[in-house]
């Protein structure tokens, strides 16, 4: 999922503690936050942004292109279905611990409606100086600045570190796409890489993966046919097998999903895999020199 900054954005759960805090941060980062929704809180406003009881009510008064959901995990399914039914085409689903069956119901509905979903369990999307949809520190100048490197990351905290390293090395970002840490995601690593590959403002891609699952291997299949350079970092390579490292998706069973399997797939596909995040700048320079 990418944004141009022209989108009108709804914040579901805008009156909550996190919703109100991040709603203001998102607006400061350039996002056109036009409305909020919170059941039973219609008629209020948060920092001048009007709040409605439902997404449908908000959609009657405003064009809604995207929604950022600050909704508890157990309510995420209904909130997402509400947004899809109201015709919203981009959903950023931040909540962690959304029941997987609920995620699958959301994905089935979203697919039929042609709605893009980022998450669940994501930190969101940032286009520096243009828009931020989520909970990334888009306002921090040492972490985000406009540029031509697209970043795809499962993790928000590690994504932040990677973006910091990029800026320190003299690079800026065309976009940061946080895809989320769950095993079942609306936007996969391969989906995000494909979108950045087709994005004119992106010259190179930094892929931040993790052990567990098969998404990095799947992305490698696509990367093999790409001409833009890809630099990858895989977190958890030192983790003991069969151990779940915080993210529900980060578990290694047998050989599948191991760091070694991912590194091999990405290297074979032509990507440069770095051992620590601080090597990314150097790897980008080397890739530009050889390309």
Partner 1 sequence: MNLLEHLGKRLLRDGGIATPQGTLAVTPQECAVAAAQLGPRVVLKCQVPVGRRGKSGGIRFASSPAQARAEAGQLLGSIVGGFKVEDLLVEERIDIARELYAAVLNDPVSKGPLLVFSTDGGMDIEEVNKTSPEKVLRAMVDIRHGLDLAAAADLLSGTDLTDRQRGSVAEALVRLYDIYRAVDAELVEVNPLVLTAQGAVVALDAKISLDPGATPRHKDSIRRLVAHLPDTATELVRQARELGLALIELDGSVGVLANGAGLTMSTLDAVSYYGGKPANFLEIGGDAYTKATPALRLVLANPRVRSLVVNFCGAFARTDVMAEGVVDAIEELRPSIPIFFCIHGTGEEEAVRLVRERLQIKPFDLMDDAVKAAVAAAGRCPTEVA
- Helix axis angle for 156-168 and 280-290, nearest 10°, is 60
Maximum Cα interatomic distance, the chain, rounded to a whole number of Å: 58
| Dist CA 201 CA 197 (whole Å) | 9
Report residue 236 as tokens.
């958890």
Decide: is 267 part of the binding site for partner 1 (CB under 8 A): no
CB of 11 to partner 1, least distance (A): 14
Cis amide leading into 179 (omega within 30): no
Q: Which of 24, 85, 105, 113 binds partner 1 (CB under 8 A)?
A: 105
Q: Which of 56-64, 194-202, 221-229, 271-279 is the region at the interface with partner 1 (rule: CB under 8 A)?
A: 271-279
Q: Which of 16, 19, 229, 236 binds partner 1 (CB under 8 A)?
A: 236
Cα torsion 124, 144, 3, 114: sign? negative
**Cα dist from 149 to 124, 188, 189, 233, 255, whole Å:** 17, 19, 16, 15, 31
CB of 65 to partner 1, least distance (A): 23
Which is the catalytic residue, given 62, 101, 199, 247? 247
Given a contact cutoff of 8 angstroms between Cβ atoms, the answer to whether 159 and 208 are in contact is yes
253 bridge partner residues: 256
Decide: is 155 part of the binding site for partner 1 (CB under 8 A): yes
Decide: is 246 part of the binding site for partner 1 (CB under 8 A): yes
Q: Give 99 or 146: the residue with its C-beta nearer to partner 1.
A: 99
CB of 200 to partner 1, least distance (A): 27
Count of beta carbons in the 10 Å neighbourhood of residue 107: 16
Residues 114 to 153: which contact partner 1 by CB under 8 A? Answer: 123, 135-137, 140, 142-143, 153
Task: Show the binding pattern over residues 190-229: x = contacts partner 1 (CB under 8 A), - = does not.
Answer: ------------------x-xx-xxx--x-----------
Four-point Cα dihedral 266, 155, 214, 89, nearest 10:
-110
Q: Is 101 a catalytic residue?
A: no
Residues 26 to 65: which contact partner 1 by CB under 8 A? Answer: none
Work out the angle at residue 197's Cα, subtended by the Cα atoms of residues 234 and 149, and round it to the nearest 5 degrees.
65
Catalytic residues: 247
Binding site for partner 1 (CB under 8 A): 18, 22, 73-74, 94, 96-105, 107-109, 111, 123, 135-137, 140, 142-143, 153-161, 164, 168, 181, 183-186, 188, 208, 210-211, 213-215, 218, 233, 235-240, 243-248, 250, 275-278
């Amino acid at each position: 999922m990418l944004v141009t900054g022209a989108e009108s954005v709804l914040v579901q759960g805008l009156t909550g503690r996190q919703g109100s805090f991040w709603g203001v941060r998102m607006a400061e980062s350039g996002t056109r936050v036009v409305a909020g929704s919170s059941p039973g809180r219609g008629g209020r406003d948060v920092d001048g942004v009007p709040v409605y009881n439902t997404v449908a009510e908000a959609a009657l008064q405003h064009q809604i292109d995207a929604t950022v959901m600050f909704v508890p995990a157990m309510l995420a399914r209904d909130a997402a279905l509400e947004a899809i039914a109201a015709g919203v085409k981009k959903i950023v689903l931040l909540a962690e611990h959304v029941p997987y069956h609920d995620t699958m119901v959301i994905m089935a509905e979203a697919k039929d409606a042609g709605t893009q979903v980022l998450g669940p369990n994501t930190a969101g999307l940032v286009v520096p100086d243009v828009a931020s949809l989520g909970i990334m520190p888009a306002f921090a100048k040492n972490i985000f600045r406009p540029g031509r490197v697209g970043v795809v990351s499962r993790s928000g905290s590690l994504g932040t570190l990677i973006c910091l390293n990029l800026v320190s090395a003299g690079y800026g970002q065309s976009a940061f796409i946080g895809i989320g840490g769950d095993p079942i995601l609306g936007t996969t690593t391969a989906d995000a890489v494909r979108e950045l590959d087709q994005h004119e403002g992106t010259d190179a891609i930094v892929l931040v993966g993790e052990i567990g699952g098969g998404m990095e291997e799947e992305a490698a299949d696509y990367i093999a046919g790409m001409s833009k350079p890809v630099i990858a970092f895989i977190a958890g390579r030192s983790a003991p097998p069969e151990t779940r490292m915080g993210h529900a998706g980060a578990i290694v069973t047998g050989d599948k999903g191991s760091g070694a399997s991912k590194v091999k797939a990405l290297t074979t596909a032509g990507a440069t895999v770095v051992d620590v995040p601080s090597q990314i700048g150097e790897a980008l320079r080397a890739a530009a020199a050889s390309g």
